[in-house]
Amino acid sequence: MEFLEKAILEKGKVLDGDILKVGSFFNQLMDISILEKIGKNIYQRFKDKNVTKILTVEASGIAMAVATALCFKCDVVFAKKSKTKNVEGEVYTADCYSFTHKTLNQLIVPKEYINSSDNVLIIDDFLATGEALNSLMDIVSQAKAKTVGIGIGIEKGFQKGGDKLREQGVDLFSLAVIDKMDTNGITFRK
């Protein structure tokens, strides 16, 4: 069994409403050995793709993105969820519905942070319906750059976002894919 699946079974907790609580090792508290392994695994999977930039979304995607970028030695950009005083100049935007928080956000990346020559690896901690990833890929397209792959920590396979991306031909790598989960247990995809 993979290290992340093992940690999910040992320390994760399924809450009502398809919520998987992994805050004690994968989100608000990040187990550094798990984070380091995630970065190295994603690097191994995409190291031949000539990745020039890693793109993620604040806040919980940043940790995995940084751990991975330190392996690639490439810069990291994160999309902000609302326009703040520190963002100025022209920006790419894409709407994004959050399944967890039931809110509509706008993802924002200043135009100067992605170049048309970039080979972008998108990183996120969770994949459920795929809304956030579609928005990030949209931003990469607007920049006329290329999305060379997507690296995910935990994919909720039963929400089908990952399968839709694979059908579209996206090179998607998830470290753990959950096909079924409820308060009785968690079943991973083989």
Q: What is the DSSP string of 155-175?
A: EEGGG-HHHHHHHTT--EEEE
Shortest separation between residue 86's beta carbon and a copy of itself, angstroms = 6
By CB under 8 A, residue 183 contacts a copy of itself:
no
CB of 25 closer than 8 Å to CB of 37: no
Shortest separation between residue 66's beta carbon and a copy of itself, angstroms = 4
Site for a copy of itself in 94-113 (CB under 8 A): 100-101, 109-110, 112-113
Burial per residue of 37-76, b for 16 or more beta-carbon CB atoms within 10 angstroms, e otherwise: bbbebbbeebeeeebbbbbbbeebbebbbbbbbebbebeb
Question: Helix or strand or coil: residue 21?
Answer: strand
Q: Which residue has the tokens 């995995």?
A: 64
Region of 75-83, 128-136, 148-156, 163-171 interacting with a copy of itself (CB under 8 A): 75-83
Q: In residues, how long is the chain?
A: 190
Region of 23-31, 129-137, 142-150, 163-171 interacting with a copy of itself (CB under 8 A): 23-31
Single residue of 4, 7, 8, 30 touching a copy of itself by CB under 8 A: 30
By CB under 8 A, residue 9 contacts a copy of itself:
no
Give the span between the Cα atoms of 47 and 42, in whole angstroms. 8
By CB under 8 A, residue 115 contacts a copy of itself:
no
How many residues touch a copy of itself (CB under 8 A)?
42
Residues that bind a copy of itself (CB under 8 A): 15, 17, 19, 21, 23-24, 27-33, 35-36, 58-59, 62-63, 66-67, 69-70, 72-78, 80, 84-88, 100-101, 109-110, 112-113
